[in-house]
């Protein structure tokens, strides 16, 4: 099992008191599985993904990521586990403006100490990026930027790809194309996929769906 989460709770203080975002969430993701996490805006989807990716810590509950219990790790330990296990794709692309496409693709793998030029070249080819490796993010379309973000996340061969509304900034045609490429590459690498989405159409393309409402999975 790539992800095992049990009894996850997360709250935040507000001017009106404590806001409970996650209230006892339990979730599993198996190797090679693709899972859509759906729910209304503000339901806690992104919060849960950030916890599972070791970007934040829960108030209560346990998370095991690829066999490692995150609760026993400090900040540097969680960062190390994230680098070697998780690939992250966000709605906002989050490319580095000062780096060209080739350097953006290599960035995450170099951080993880596992840069493989042959694998990167294969990703660039599969993602249709070979002809623009020397361009900068501002010179790319939104669909191209998101393909670079997906390639960057997969360049380190993560055990699990986590994507937060990865096509939210794209038109329907670009979103469908990017989604197809992401699913093909996840299947090729054998990684698991956890994707936060509000799109029923995209969720239906994954092997399983769970719905988050009022801090609980339903």
Count of CB atoms situated within 10 Å of the CB of 6: 14
The pTM score is 0.93
Instruction: Name the pairing type of β-strands 192-196 and 17-29.
Output: unpaired
Kindly report, residue by residue over 173-194, the tens digit of the pLDDT: 888 888 999 999 999 999 999 9
d(CA 164, CA 167): 9
Per-residue pLDDT band at 164 (split at 50, 70, 90): very high
Kindly report, residue by residue over 138-161, the tens digit of the pLDDT: 999 999 999 999 999 999 999 999
d(CA 184, CA 60): 36
What is the pLDDT, as a whole number, of residue 218?
86
Read off the DSSP letter of residue 38: E
Question: 7: closest CA among 39, 51, 46?
Answer: 51
Residue 168 has pLDDT above 90, yes or no: no
Q: What is the CATH number of the domain that holds 36?
A: 3.40.50.300
Exposure of 41 in the CB half-sphere (CA atoms within 13 A): 1
Q: Is the dihedral of CA 158, 86, 65, 48 positive or negative?
A: negative
Residue range(s) defining the domain that contains residue 128: 3-217
Among the listed ranges 41-45, 128-132, 181-185, which one has the minimum average pLDDT value? 41-45
Residue 51 has pLDDT above 90, yes or no: yes
Residue 36 has pLDDT above 90, yes or no: yes
Mean pLDDT, rounded, of the chain = 94
Residue 199 has pLDDT above 90, yes or no: no
- Mean of the pLDDT values across residues 75-100? 94
**Phi, psi for residue 31 in degrees, rounded to 5:** -60, 130
* Count: domains in the chain: 1
Tokens 């580095």 sit on residue: 96
């Amino acid at each position: 099992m790539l992800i095992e989460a049990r009894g996850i709770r997360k709250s935040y203080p507000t001017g009106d008191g404590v806001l409970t975002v996650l209230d006892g969430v339990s979730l599993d993701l198996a190797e090679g599985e693709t899972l859509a996490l759906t729910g209304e805006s503000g339901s806690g989807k992104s919060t849960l993904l950030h916890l599972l990716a070791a970007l934040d810590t829960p108030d209560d509950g346990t998370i095991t990521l690829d066999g490692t219990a995150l609760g026993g790790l400090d900040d540097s330990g969680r960062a190390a586990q994230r680098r070697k296990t998780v690939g992250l794709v966000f709605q906002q692309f989050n490319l580095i403006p000062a780096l060209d496409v080739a350097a953006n693709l290599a960035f995450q793998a170099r951080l993880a100490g596992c840069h493989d030029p042959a694998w990167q070249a294969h990703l660039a080819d599969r993602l249709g990026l070979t002809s623009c490796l020397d361009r900068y993010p501002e010179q790319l379309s939104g669909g191209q930027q998101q393909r670079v973000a997906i390639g960057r996340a997969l360049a380190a061969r993560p055990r699990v790809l986590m994507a937060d509304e990865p096509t939210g900034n794209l038109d329907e045609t670009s979103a469908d194309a990017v989604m197809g490429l992401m699913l093909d590459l996840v299947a090729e690498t054998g990684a698991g996929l956890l994707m936060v989405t509000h799109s029923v159409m995209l969720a239906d393309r994954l092997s399983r769906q769970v719905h988050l409402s009022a801090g609980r999975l339903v």
